[in-house]
Amino acid sequence: MKKFRVLLALLAAAAMPAWAGQFAKGADIGWLQQMEASGYKFYNDQGKREDALQILKDNGINTVRLRTWVNPSEDRTNGHNNKDETIAMAVRAQQMGMRVMINFHYSDSWADPSQQKKPAAWAGHDFPRLLEDVYSYTNDVMSALKAAGVTPEWVQVGNETPGGMIYPEGSTNNWPQLAQLINQGYDAIKSVSPSSKVILHLDRGNDSKRFRTWFDNATANGARYDVIGMSYYPYWLPGKPDYKKSIGDLARNMNDMAARYGKEVMVVEVGGEDRRAQNTYDMLVAVQRKVKAVPGQKGLGVIYWEPLGARSWSKYPLSAWGDDGKPTRAMKAFLAE
């Protein structure tokens, strides 16, 4: 019997992906397709043109995060990321040996604390119909990923949702309805991919009160999830303070969330100024260390939001790419930890 149990354990281990249990070091790459289509060229540290995903991989990245929008426009920086584009990128990343996170915004464009606009195709639907919309859309994307051979390790239901999602019905002003919408997404994901971990995601990962209030309400209303996701951007905090003034609060909040709710935690968005690469490097090293230090190995990983999104193309100041088309020193933080 003992030999049989040992054999089963060995077979199970052999079936697990090589990266199973590894700390996730990630990059959100939602702009990559558009950048390539517009002719943007990526170069490695030696100045040689190379596939952007290979450059990320050579800089320690083992995970990609992909957003998906319902019916997006073709606007260069505020569109794309439809189902087919998301699947194509997921397949490409998986072929590179990377892990995949899918981020459902439940919108036609950006969803974040300032805007959670429902898809135009869902406008005018009553609440029971919205529940069906969330389930069928989520199930459709997850099923298409499965058909393409991709099993996302993590899937987000909503993006930065401190005020809820799919306004106005899914606002935190009506937590019972918000929880139902969340659970429709959760159930649709698990029906296709039971192993995928479902993430609920808020901004300001250093703000304990924000997180306690939201997840206390989620718990009280029966919202189902597996992982608490956080954004951490010192640049966007009042006064743009250095990360050293808030990193301790981030660590305390992660530890508190893991203990209070018994969940794993993950920094699913982080970023620093491209023109302060050393400071961003230092911040990324510090964040990785704080996540790894969450008790019980409940800190899963750190994902940089759009390191490839060079300012010269996106006008975004928090990428980790220089005007020369090469990664800045900040990316080396994922090799340091």
pTM of the model: 0.93
Q: Given pLDDT bands bounded at 50, 70 and 90, which one contains residue 19?
A: low
> Residue 318: what residue type?
L
Pick the CATH number of 25-336 from 3.40.50.880, 2.40.50.140, 3.20.20.80, 3.40.50.720: 3.20.20.80
Q: What is the pLDDT of residues 79-100, one digit of tens each?
A: 789 999 999 999 999 999 999 9
Mean pLDDT of the chain: 94
Check residue 7 and give its pLDDT.
Answer: 42
Q: What is the pLDDT of residues 39-53, one digit of tens each?
A: 999 999 999 999 999
Q: Is the pLDDT of residue 283 over 90?
A: yes
Q: What is the pLDDT of residues 101-122, one digit of tens each?
A: 999 999 999 999 999 999 999 9
Q: Is the pLDDT of residue 3 over 70?
A: no
Mean pLDDT of 283-299: 98
Domain boundaries, the chain: 25-336
Mean pLDDT of 161-190: 98
Q: Given pLDDT bands bounded at 50, 70 and 90, which one contains residue 177?
A: very high
Check residue 2 and give its pLDDT.
Answer: 45
Q: What is the pLDDT of residues 230-264, one digit of tens each?
A: 999 999 998 878 999 999 999 999 999 999 999 99
Q: Is the pLDDT of residue 226 over 80?
A: yes
Q: Is the pLDDT of residue 63 over 70?
A: yes
Check residue 75 and give its pLDDT.
Answer: 82
Q: Would you say the C-alpha torsion 171, 172, 173, 175 has a positive or negative sign? A: positive
What is the percent of the chain with per-residue pLDDT over 70, rounded to a whole number?
94
Check residue 18 and give its pLDDT.
Answer: 54
Mean pLDDT of 200-226: 98
Q: Given pLDDT bands bounded at 50, 70 and 90, which one contains residue 14?
A: very low
